[in-house]
Structures are given as structure tokens and as C-alpha cells.
Amino acid sequence: MERRSWSLLAAILGSGIVFLDGTVVTVALPAIGAQLPRATDIGVLEAQSYIFSGYMLSLSALLIVGGALSDSWGRKRMYAWGLVGFAAASVLCGLAPNMELLIAGRVLQGVAGAVLIPGSLALINAAYEGEDRSRAFGIWTGASAAVTIVGPLIGGVLVDVLSWRAAFLVNLPVLAVAWWVTHSRVEEAAETVTGEKVDWFGAGLAGVAVAGLTFGPIRGQETQWQDMSVWILIGLGLAATAVLVARIRSHPHALVPVSLFTSSSFNVINVATFFIYGALYVLLTMTSIHLQGTLGYNATAAGLATVPAMIPLTLLSGKVGTWSAHTGPRPWLVGGPLLMAAGAVWLALLPIDSTAWEIGSQPASWIPPGDYFAHVFGGVVVFGLGMLAMVTPLTATLMASISPERAGVGSAFNNAVSRVGPQLLGAAAVVLVTAAFYGHLAAESPTVDTSSNDLRATVAPLNAPPDDVDADLEGAIRSASGVAFTRAMGLSAGILVIGAAVSAFGLRKEAEVSGTEGVRLGGQVCVPLQETA
């Protein structure tokens, strides 16, 4: 195998395990919520949100630092350390005795992942050039999609046969192979910006901003906006955001070099990423919980239900990378999110009457029920075709807009945006889903006090009703979850349309080139940043 292929393999294994944990944990959330005790008064859906959000928070806050460290301290070295850190954090998650410690372990996983994600793209960017680079990004995307396919299947089987804990411990052999490949087969990249200081204060500001604007709204909905800490969190998030923006504009060693933003392509891609990946998280997470909690799928069946969305991405991403290099990225970055929105609308039309699914009439099976092909399959396929059209052109356009020595921090910024979007828009979705659920439940069952903390501790949106409720209340709970899920899918579709509009009106067919040929992706010219006027 040639040397650059080893770099691609290391990138796929390391970043793939980060993506794997996202998909595995999504499938495992219902089992975790049902089996793992809570040491505090947080609700079930709130805790499930924190398990995902804690991971994404530390990723979001530290991705740019991870990219900067890779650029200045060596991409191979930092990547190897990231693999070791992720393995240690996976052990902590797999052995967690309660919900709060699992959330803490997820935060530590995110810290290690913040090194692996930008490092993987930087390794590919350093090893390949020209059209080979677009093809390599396509292979990386396809492999990531394959991991996303395998993740729910492996996760579902592990949850159903062994335990949700095995979903974390399965990371260890893959990480061991990735470390060996990185240590023994990958060469250190030549392009670095040694000597630059890392803006730790800016990293702290980013963490406070994302944490406040994520956990504040989620906690606010859970406490019905009566807890003063909610407003303190939101205020801190807004203040930290303002200070961070000012620091980037004025500080000589800011967390994100201001020169990155002189590329219009870089700016447009990041705005589109914010909306598209936020909607992606809302759809996949809410669908997985709803299929299991409301419609009676077990974990394996819920994992299988999303497989059709990933098959096109796995098989054709390399081809799409080549095609988009000739046609230009804009048609793909507009059409892809619109197809994804159509898939979300399809899923929004799922029957909200629980009797339509004959829940309880058949034993739990690892095979999706027959209703799946009537109501879910088409939406999943359409959504997957949209992802196929969008993912590789977005990555290739981003990397073409970044100079080689800034590949780490530039890709890290985009990856941070792709995780901030799920945090903020996911928080909005939790608020919307919770309000819709308890509002509909109150209308269906006027005698039930939906503001009661005791009720909210046992009856959660999109999750299975408690075993001891009567049949009428169970039906009302499932119906309320159906209404809440419809609202979530409508939100996802609307956000995806916004993401398509950003690319449609923001990406130019041609760019002004001053003193350089730039990197051409079809009709889109991406100019190296250091030579942009």
C-alpha cells in the first residue's frame, strides 16, 4: 500500500470511531434512559439530550484548539494522542455507574474527538492534491457513511444482546489498530505554523458560549423557565459569544485567524453547515427515540430503519466527489439539502394515532415492522439521497478554500460549526418537542397535571409510557409524542431549506482571482487565503 493510502486509512479509522459513537449512542439512548440511575433531578429526555450534548459541547469548544495544535505541534503526533485519549474516555463511559458520570465521560470523549476530527481531514489534505484530493475526501465520506450504517446495527445488537455499555467498549480494538497505523505508517506533514500561541482564553470563551446557549434553553423548558440559573446560562452564552467575536477580530493570536474569513466560499460553507448539520441531528436523533419509545421498535430495528439513508452515501460518495469537481459545488449544495427537507416532510406525515401501528400486537423484533415500508422507508431513502448530494461537495469546497498550513484550524472551525449547529438547533428542537408534547397531553387528558415534576420524571416526550399507566393515558402519551415528532420534523425541514438558500445565494459561479489561479471546483474558484485581496 502506498504511503498516502496509509494516511487515508488512519484518517478513516480515527474519525470513523468518533462518528460511530454518535450513531451507537443515539440507538442506545432509550436503554440508557431506562436502565441507568440518575443522581440528581434531571428528567429522562433532558439527560438523554445531555449525553449527546456533553459530547458535542466539548467537541465544539475544543475542535479549533485541536486543529491549531495539530498545525503547530504536528498532525501525526496529536492524532496519535487523540486516539489514546478517546480509548481512555470510552472505558470511563462503559463503566459509568450513573447518568451524571456517563455525561462526564462523554465530555472527555469529545475532548479527544476534538483532536481526531480536524486531524483526519488535515492528514488527507496533506497527502493528496488536485482531483485525487476530492476523490480521497469522497472515499473518507463514504467510509464515514459505512460506519454510520454499521453503527446502529452494531449498537442495536449490543444493546439488545449484551448491554448499552458494550456500545462504548467496542471502540477499543478499532482505536488500537488506528494507533498502530498512525504510529508506524503515517508521515508527519511538512506544512506547519510552528511558534504560534494557542488561544486558550478564546477556547474557554467558545466553551462558555456553546454551553450557555445549549444547556440554558434545554434546562429552561425542563424547569418551565422558573429557575434563575437558566437565564444566567443564556446570558453567559450571549456575552461569551460577543467577546469571542471581538477577540477574533482584534487579537494577534486569536483562536481562529481572521484571515480565514477573507474567503467568501469559506464563510458561505460554514453558514450552510450550521443549518444543515443542525437539521441532520434533529432528524436522526428524534427519529431514533420516537421509533423505539413511541412506535415499539427495539434498538436493532431502529438501527436497521436508518440503513437505507446511508447506503447511497457509502457506495457513491467517491463518484459524487469527482462529478462535483467538474460541475461545481453549488447545484449539489442546493439540491442536496432540499432533498433532505423532502425526506423530513415525508417522516412528518407518520400517523400520530398509535392504533395505526398496532403497537403491542406483535413481539419486539429486530426486523422493522411492516408499517415501516408504508410510512418510514421512503422518507429515509429521500433523505439519504440528499445527504449523498451534499456531504462530499461541502467538504471539498471547504478544504479548497483553506491554505495548506491552515488546514487543521480551518477544517476544525467548520467541524466546530457542524457541532454548534446541532447544539443550538437541537436545544430549540427539545424546547419545541417538550412544549408540543405536554401541551397536547394536557388537552387530551385534562385531569393530568402536566406541570408536575413527578409526572415529568416518568412521562417523557418520544419515550415509552410507564408500564403502570392505564390504557387511555398510554394512548394519549403516544399521541402526544406523535404530535411532538411531527413538529420536530417540520423544524428540520425548514432549517434545511434555509441551508439550501444560503448556498444558492452565497456561492458565486466565479471568484475574483488576484495573482493566482486558485483551486477550481467546476465553476467555483476557491482562492488560497494568503493571496486573497
Nine-digit cell string for 466:
410507564
Q: Please report the pLDDT score of residue 165 as a whole number.
A: 86
Which pLDDT score, from 0 to 100, does residue 501 have? 93
Interval 207-233 mean pLDDT: 74
Q: What number is the average pLDDT over the span 121-138? A: 71
Please answer whether residues 124 and 199 qualify as being in contact, where contact means their C-beta atoms are separated by less than 8 angstroms.
no
To the question of pTM greater than 0.75 for the whole model, the response is: no
C-beta of residue 137 within 8 angstroms of C-beta of residue 76:
no
Q: Which of 72-76, 78-82, 285-289 has the least mean pLDDT?
A: 72-76
Q: Is the pLDDT of residue 171 over 60?
A: yes
What is the Cα Rg of the chain in Å? 22
**pLDDT of the residue at 350:** 81
C-beta of residue 75 within 8 angstroms of C-beta of residue 193: no
What average pLDDT does range 495-517 have in this prediction?
68
149 exposure class (CB count in 10 Å sphere: 0-12, 13-18, 19+) = buried
User: So what's the pLDDT on residue 222?
Assistant: 62
Please tell me the predicted confidence (pLDDT) of residue 403: 67
> What pLDDT sits at residue 509?
54
Res 43: pLDDT: 65
3-state class (DSSP) for residue 195: coil
Tally DSSP H helices, then E strands, for the chain.
18, 2
Give the mean model confidence (pLDDT) for residues 220-244.
81
- The dihedrals phi and psi of 295, each to the nearest 5 degrees, come to -100, 0
Name the average pLDDT for the chain: 75
Over residues 183-215, the pLDDT tens digits come to: 777 766 655 544 556 677 877 787 788 777 767
Looking at residue 337, its pLDDT comes to: 93
Q: What whole-number distance in Å separates Cα of residue 275 and Cα of residue 272? A: 6
State the pLDDT confidence band at 276, using cuts at 50, 70 and 90. very high
Give the pLDDT confidence score for residue 2 in this predicted structure.
66
Least confident piece of the model among 360-374, 380-394, 486-500: 360-374
Percent of the chain exceeding pLDDT 70 equals: 75
Helices (H), 158-298: 166-169, 171-185, 200-222, 228-250, 264-293
Q: CB neighbours (10 Å) of residue 38?
A: 15
Confidence label for 514 from pLDDT (cuts 50, 70 and 90):
very low
Show the CA angle centred on residue 7, arms to residues 143 and 126, nearest 5°.
110
- Tens digit of each residue's pLDDT (9 = 90 or more) over 298-353: 767 777 787 787 777 777 776 776 777 777 788 889 999 999 999 999 998 887 65
pLDDT at position 533: 27
What pLDDT score does 344 carry? 93
* Residue 162 pLDDT greater than 60, yes or no: yes
Instruction: Return the pLDDT at 493.
Output: 94
Query: How far, in Å, CA of 343 to CA of 337, rounded?
Result: 10
pLDDT 10s digits, 44-65:
666 777 787 777 777 766 777 7
Rounded to an integer, what distance in angstroms lies between the CA atom of residue 213 and that of residue 206?
A: 11
CA distance 124 to 117: 11
Using the predicted structure, report yes or no on whether residue 432 has a pLDDT greater than 80: yes
The confidence score (pLDDT) of residue 341 equals: 95
- For CA atoms 137, 139, 144, 149, the dihedral sign is positive
Contact residues for 514 (Cβ-Cβ < 8 A; gap 6+): 527, 531, 532, 533
Q: Which helix (H) or strand (E) holds 325?
A: helix 307-327
pLDDT band (50, 70, 90) for residue 256: confident
- Cα dihedral sign, 9-15-17-20: negative
